[in-house]
């Protein structure tokens, strides 16, 4: 059974009506196991509190149901079944890699999936999915472009030894192609206790211009970096996708004096210090100050924030009840929707969809080039970078 908790039942001094509640759901793996994202539903709760304190959704109170999908296909499907049973208006800002399992249930119920984690193909193929980022494919293409521009002459990618990992290698090469580079492939099994042999392969001869990028999950990347410290290469340069490492790992490994100083990173959104996150930080400060599960620099948290922002703006255009059907119709008809600089304006009308056969629901092909400078992830390139040309080549 999926664990479902109600949230946002009372406002904090606002005037949102409790008589006509808009109910939505946010799910994520919430407990203990590797890959847990308890901050995602906690962020949704904080957003609901803020929305209700400021008048709600068109005067109606926003209620968030939080569901633990346990990082399993069965758990994700159970959450989708619960969303259908509860007739939620939408599933918003969730984190799951099992869209192939849960999207058919949402489609059958007519429920829109707004702003998923970008981790699975079905998020970018279903007509009921409205992604706010470009998925792992844009990150890999962008990372290749960033490494090529940084002068890397040999690039090794450490990635999961899975079917998705195989495509990661291909997408990175698409990004590297402008510099006529082909990556060295280092597939690994996520969750190992040591990656010593893989580190040795990735480092290679350790020459100037050698770069190593991680597309592993955060826990596996941390293990890989521990082996990297033991190897202590003289020249090879580190890189990763945001999500593989975050500011918290930079801090834990010594900040400006640690091994990640100077490392490159590619993310979907501007770094946490960007002014575009001012309101996100304010909501966390006011409504979730004591909740240590929420890390504002986590791309999953940022995705949840953007997803609710988009939902709020699209729902404001609905004349009449805010329902499963009216939300789906509004998302198909509305746009572009501003996210205040966190992404380009978003619209899911047919004229705005990117010509990408494997991910036809893609509307955002922007990424952020970042670098660790003085112990902080900062912009390595001013503003977002559009990688559509290499992504669709």
What residues does 267 pair with on adjacent strands?
368
**Alpha helices by DSSP H, 3-119:** 39-53, 73-85, 99-109
Ordered by where they begin, the domains of the chain are 3-134+274-362 (3.40.50.2300), 136-267+368-391 (3.40.50.2300)
- 3-class SS of residue 160: strand
CA distances from 333 to 69, 185, 337, 346, 349 (A): 31, 42, 11, 12, 7
- What is the total residue count of the chain? 393
Q: How far apart are CA 63 and CA 43, in angstroms?
A: 13
Which sign does the torsion angle of CA 287, 63, 108, 67 carry? Answer: positive
The pLDDT of residue 393 is: 83
- Asked if 55 contacts 312 with a C-beta cutoff of 8 angstroms, the reply is no
- Asked if 76 contacts 69 with a C-beta cutoff of 8 angstroms, the reply is yes
pLDDT tens digits for range 184-222: 999 999 889 999 999 999 999 999 999 999 999 888 999
- 3-class SS of residue 251: helix
The pLDDT of residue 34 is: 64
Q: Which residues of the chain have pLDDT under 50?
A: 1, 7-15, 17-18
Q: How far apart are CA 177 and CA 369, in angstroms?
A: 18
Instruction: Please spell the DSSP secondary structure of 295-356, one letter per residue.
Output: -TT-HHHHHHHHHHHHHHHHHTT--S---HHHHHHHHHH---B--TTSSS-B--SGGGS---
Backbone φ and ψ of 310, nearest 5°:
-65, -45
Average pLDDT of the chain is 93
Q: How far apart are CA 298 and CA 361, in angstroms?
A: 24
The pLDDT of residue 384 is: 97
pTM over 0.85: yes
């Amino acid at each position: 059974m999926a664990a479902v908790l109600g949230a946002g039942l009372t406002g904090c001094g606002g005037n949102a009506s409790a008589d006509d509640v808009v109910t939505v759901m946010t799910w994520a793996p919430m407990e203990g196991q590797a890959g847990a994202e308890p901050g995602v539903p906690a962020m949704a709760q904080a957003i609901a509190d803020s929305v209700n304190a400021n008048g709600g959704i068109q005067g109606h109170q926003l209620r968030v149901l939080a569901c633990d999908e346990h990082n399993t296909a069965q758990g994700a499907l159970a959450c989708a079944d619960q969303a259908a049973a509860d007739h939620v208006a939408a599933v918003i800002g969730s984190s799951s890699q099992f869209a192939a399992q849960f999207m058919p249930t949402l489609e059958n119920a007519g429920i829109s999936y707004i702003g998923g984690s970008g981790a699975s193909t079905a998020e970018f193929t279903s007509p009921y999915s409205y992604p706010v980022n470009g998925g792992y494919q844009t990150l890999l293409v962008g990372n290749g472009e960033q490494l090529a521009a940084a002068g890397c002459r040999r690039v090794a990618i450490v990635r999961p030894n899975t079917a998705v990992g195989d495509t990661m290698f291909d997408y990175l090469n698409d990004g590297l192609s402008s510099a006529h580079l082909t990556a060295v492939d280092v597939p690994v099994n996520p969750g190992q206790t040591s990656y010593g042999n893989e580190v040795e392969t990735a480092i290679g001869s350790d020459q100037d211009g050698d770069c190593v990028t991680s597309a592993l999950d955060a826990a596996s990347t941390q293990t890989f970096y521990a082996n990297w410290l033991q190897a202590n290469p003289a020249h090879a340069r580190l890189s990763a996708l945001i999500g593989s490492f975050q500011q918290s790992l930079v801090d834990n490994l010594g900040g400006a004096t640690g091994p990640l100083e100077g490392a490159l990173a590619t993310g979907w959104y501007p770094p946490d210090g960007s002014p575009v996150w001012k309101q996100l930080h304010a909501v966390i400060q006011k409504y979730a100050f004591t909740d240590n599960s929420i890390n504002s620099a986590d791309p999953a948290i940022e995705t949840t924030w953007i997803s609710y922002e988009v939902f709020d703006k699209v729902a404001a255009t609905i004349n009449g009840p805010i329902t499963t059907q009216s939300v789906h119709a509004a998302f198909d008809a509305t746009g572009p929707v501003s996210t205040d600089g966190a992404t380009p304006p978003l619209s899911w009308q047919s004229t705005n969809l990117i010509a990408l056969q494997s991910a036809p629901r893609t509307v955002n092909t922007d990424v952020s080039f970042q670098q660790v400078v003085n112990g902080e992830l900062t912009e390595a390139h001013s503003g977002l970078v559009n990688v559509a040309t290499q992504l669709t080549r």
